[in-house]
Structure 1
Amino acid sequence: MAQQERTTLDMKGISIEFPGVKALSDVDFQVESGRIHALIGANGAGKSTLMKVLSGAYSHYTGSIHLNGNQVTIRTPRDAKELGIDIVYQEVDTALIPYLDVAENIMLDVMVNRMKGKVFINWKHIHDSARKVLERLGIQLDTRKRVQDLTLAQKQMVLIARAIAEERRFLILDEPTAPLSHKETDELFRVVRELANHQNVGIIFISHRLPELFEICEEITIMRDGQVVTRNPIAELTTKQVVEWMLGRKMDETYVKKQTAIGEPLLTVSHLYDRKGMVRNVSLHVRAGEIVGIAGLVGAGKTELCKTIFGAHAAQSGEIKLKEKKLQNKTPHAAVKQGLALVPEERRKEGVLVDESVVSNLSAASLGAFSSAFGFVKPREERAAALKMIGDLGIKTPHENQKVALLSGGNQQKVAVGKWLLADADVYMFDEPTKGVDVGAKRDIFNLIAKLAEIGKGSIYATSELSEILAITDRIYVMYDGAVVKELLTSETTEEEILYYSTGGN
């Protein structure tokens, strides 16, 4: 694409405040169409807030936005879309209408904007148009399939297709690879390159997965504490330099796990099957002071296993024992009472109460510890415990009574983790606990899980991030197609070996 055909987008002096916090302070940000630009920062740095300004979600900012030097007005999502700017948010399921088909979801904006007052809808035209958009992206997908029946990766492609169904000059992707497997990520990258290189769309790519930024992005802007701290061609930086710019301090690149004393078995799972057929004949054990990894690609059954042990998914057969006592975990409530805790992957849907305060969320799983004999909550003790956890996890919030919905995604994840760390459980299950959090927050979470091991608690750490599982665990169970296919000692294995079994090797 010729240089003269590119559009330049400039955000100048952008500032915005919310009650108790200045989220952005005099931010300048520039990007060109036809290029892939990384925007990163630690949780709460302001990157998502800046993009919500650009996409019209926040209107009360100061500063100005320019296209090719001409000042434009963006105060609503419609303003942004009319200027060719759109965003694909991290929470895919909340942005789609599950009971409508692929074509209806892709063409939703077109149908709303162009068909007002029309009595009849030309459904053939809707499906033909949706197919053409998918063809532009090289995506094979049945336009008559309901969205609720799609995989997460397919839903992501539908959102991208919707965003470019009308002419777009800039597309913002907020943590697009968080729920995707390696293969699905490769397919997303192919689509992103197609948009940038052949359709002259400017891509603003937000991600905490630093290696993928170096793979796909040409430039990088790094934010910290509501300000831009540097902007560079990404080839001029190393991963270590990016981390240090994000955090504002030097940091070791590797996490070294402390060795702890391993005790007797706490949790024993024998021949477990779930009713959905996603967990098949799984046997495992977790000992006191031990951190056990559950490795596997997206869709391997890690989440379903954790939920079945916790009682959130119904078990078909098998046995679960905690401290040699057989558990009847027919509900999560029963599991919690018996000494199990689960930090789920989908934080907004299952991990936090978004309309409640930080302190209420942090105490939600352990209210008994802050209640009198008559059931009244002791607010002073509840607040003190919450403030300690806010400090321990580095939760960025103006105060402990802030609504969780107003926190950044990474800080919501910290609250979801902190809630269970306050509960006095025997075994903690962490399902993708670092999803969407920065490297500093990841280190905080690792340290807290390590502290649980030091005091004799058992932990299950389920993730598709192989570097994490090698950094923090003692043993690893590898899952493939709902079954455990291999047990490995962390100290004696490699990423290559884990990936071999994760992909069906035997």
Structure 2
Amino acid sequence: MSKLEMKDISIEFPGVKALDDVEFTTESSRVHALIGANGAGKSTLMKVLAGSYTHYTGEIYIDGKKCPIANPRDAQELGVQIVYQEVDTALVPYLSVAENILLNELVLIKEKNRIINWTDIYKRAQVILDDLKLAINSKVLVSELSLAEKQMVLIARAISFKCKYLILDEPTAPLSNSETKELFRIVNELKRKDVAIIFISHRLPELFEICDDITIMRDGKFVAQKLIKETSQAEIVELMLGRKMGDQFPARTVEIGETLFEVIELSDADYLKDISFEVKRGEIIGISGLVGAGKTELCKTLFGEYQMKSGQLKLAGKPIKNTSPNRAVKNKLAFVPEERRKEGILVEESITTNTSVVNLTKFCQLKTFLNFSGERKNAQSIVDQLSVKAPSIHAQVKNLSGGNQQKVAIGKWLTVDSEIYIFDEPTKGVDVGAKKDIFELIVQLAAEGKGIIYATCEFPEILGLTDRTYVMYDGQIVKEVVTNTVDEEQLLYYSTGGN
């Protein structure tokens, strides 16, 4: 039995104290949930443990022995491994699965100018994959894998390095139900091997399914640690937010107007087939379906990132052609993509830059000079309106929590006079408090007469937010329903091909 203790951990960044005397304790053969609202400090705490942040104060103990962690290698030597939410950034796509799993070892071999025994490398990596009962060939290139398989490769890499403490940061966010079940099987397998798993997630129901313990954080501070079987979702939410949650979905007085946006027999070159639907003014329509149904492909085709092979789009009765995202913006469409860090924000830029980038002409004088004062006022207005937690509007977006990054990704479109807003999984990796803020913004946009397309595999969000829902399966719309006439079971039935 191995025990990890983090005591009085504090860390500061310019303008903000991210952690304030935080306590965290876990043991081997336990799955320990770490939860808190976006900006609570949970990811920061785990980055301290993983050696990514070294300017912290406080102490870390393993089995009662003080263990300073000054870099990621120190953490790895102590058996601490982390699998981040953005799996693509942690893997080398043009290398094989085996090379990615044993990457650290290959680097050491190269540093010592030794000859690599490729047969041995592939064999050893395959043993690790087989031990986890993963049907992945170690010789396949990572670029050929699905997102779920890439995540499994990262877990395989972690346990190849004598992992004692495995940190999983939002591991189920991009996964389908079946892929989540496979991940849970792996977690339970590691638990039986005496590995301690630290599980960061905003999906409360799955925490009660897989976790033994839970630690709740709020505003950079430790709030409580409990046995999962001795608490409830309602209590956890209250501890996270410091108040009772109330209704998550805003009340609406639905005033539906005339047809605003029409999609007529849209097909692309690869997957989408004869898709037709309409959005009326003030209406929130859901695009529902499981992972892989074609929701993201549809959203990107509507926005001009993917090209239509056939079909027609109409806005207010007039045909439009979205041959590129630039043309789509000019045609008054806005798009909040699923992969915010890759496609929705400029991570190295400030909040100010991100909130003006889609409409720079609004802040240009004489079409040449940027009005910095106007740009800053706009950024501050969006930060205030969406309750973005940041030290200032000059903060780099990469340093914000996931939920606050998503608010910036959405907020930038408030500077543009759009008629149609497309949201693709907008609450992915977002806590319950930030979700409510996002829902309220969407309802406000609909109340202003905008048309909303809300694509998600989260059935409760479809049921709580939308007026009508189009269910997708295998690249097609298989069912249209008035949302308040169906339940989750029926949506799942249609999403799996039932009719």
Q: TM-score, normalised by structure 1?
A: 0.97
**Which of 123, 126, 130 lines up with 1:128 in the alignment?**
123
**Unpaired stretches in structure 1, ≥5 consecutive residues:** 1-5
**Unpaired stretches in structure 2, ≥5 consecutive residues:** none
**Cα offset, 1:255, TM superposition:** 1.8
| CA distances 1:63-121 after superposition (whole Å, capped 9, x unpaired) | 11100110012111100001100000000111100011111111112222355324421
- For the residue of structure 2 that corresponds to 1:139, the secondary structure is coil
- For the residue of structure 2 that corresponds to 1:365, the secondary structure is helix
Residue equivalent to 1:42: 37
**Which of 431, 434, 444 lines up with 1:441 in the alignment?**
434
**Cα offset, 1:417, TM superposition:** 1.0
Question: Using the alignment, how far apart are the partners of 2:295 and 2:377 within structure 1?
Answer: 35
Residue equivalent to 1:255: 249
Question: Using the alignment, how far apart are the partners of 1:183 and 1:135 within structure 2?
Answer: 19
1:333 and 2:326 are equivalent in the alignment: yes
Question: Using the alignment, how far apart are the partners of 2:63 and 2:121 within structure 1?
Answer: 33
Residue equivalent to 1:219: 213
Given that 1:39 and 1:220 are in contact with CA atoms closer than 8 Å, whether structure 2 keeps it comes out as: yes
Residue equivalent to 1:19: 14
Matched residue count: 499
1:116 and 2:117 are equivalent in the alignment: no
* Counterpart residue identity of residue 355, structure 1: E
Given that 2:250 and 2:439 are in contact with CA atoms closer than 8 Å, whether structure 1 keeps it comes out as: no
* Counterpart residue identity of residue 79, structure 2: G
**Which of 94, 102, 109 lines up with 1:107 in the alignment?**
102
1:30 and 2:25 are equivalent in the alignment: yes
Question: Using the alignment, how far apart are the partners of 1:232 and 1:391 within structure 2?
Answer: 34
1:83 and 2:46 are equivalent in the alignment: no
Residue equivalent to 1:3: none
**Which of 391, 403, 406 lines up with 1:398 in the alignment?**
391
- For the residue of structure 2 that corresponds to 1:27, the secondary structure is strand
1:127/1:212 CA distance change after superposition, 3 Å: same
- For the residue of structure 2 that corresponds to 1:389, the secondary structure is helix
**1:21-420 alignment runs, 5 A limit:** 21-114=16-109, 116-196=111-191, 198-275=192-269, 277-420=270-413
Given that 2:250 and 2:443 are in contact with CA atoms closer than 8 Å, whether structure 1 keeps it comes out as: no
* Counterpart residue identity of residue 320, structure 2: L
Given that 2:266 and 2:311 are in contact with CA atoms closer than 8 Å, whether structure 1 keeps it comes out as: yes
Question: Using the alignment, how far apart are the partners of 2:208 and 2:385 within structure 1?
Answer: 31
**Cα offset, 1:61, TM superposition:** 0.6
Question: Using the alignment, how far apart are the partners of 2:114 and 2:23 within structure 1?
Answer: 46
Given that 1:240 and 1:253 are in contact with CA atoms closer than 8 Å, whether structure 2 keeps it comes out as: no
**Cα offset, 1:369, TM superposition:** 2.8
Given that 1:392 and 1:444 are in contact with CA atoms closer than 8 Å, whether structure 2 keeps it comes out as: no
Question: Using the alignment, how far apart are the partners of 2:31 and 2:425 within structure 1?
Answer: 27
- For the residue of structure 1 that corresponds to 2:370, the secondary structure is coil
**Cα offset, 1:373, TM superposition:** 4.2
Question: Using the alignment, how far apart are the partners of 2:248 and 2:470 within structure 1?
Answer: 22
**Cα offset, 1:266, TM superposition:** 1.1
User: CA RMSD for the aligned pairs?
Assistant: 1.1
Identical columns (%): 57
- For the residue of structure 2 that corresponds to 1:366, the secondary structure is helix
1:254/1:412 CA distance change after superposition, 3 Å: closer
Given that 1:428 and 1:459 are in contact with CA atoms closer than 8 Å, whether structure 2 keeps it comes out as: yes
1:458 and 2:451 are equivalent in the alignment: yes
Question: Using the alignment, how far apart are the partners of 1:34 and 1:194 within structure 2?
Answer: 10
Indicate the larger mover: 372-381 or 482-491. 372-381
Question: Using the alignment, how far apart are the partners of 2:160 and 2:449 within structure 1?
Answer: 55
Given that 1:257 and 1:471 are in contact with CA atoms closer than 8 Å, whether structure 2 keeps it comes out as: no
| CA distances 1:371-405 after superposition (whole Å, capped 9, x unpaired) | 33434333333222221211222211000010111
| CA distances 1:449-500 after superposition (whole Å, capped 9, x unpaired) | 0011111000100001000111111000000011000001011111111100
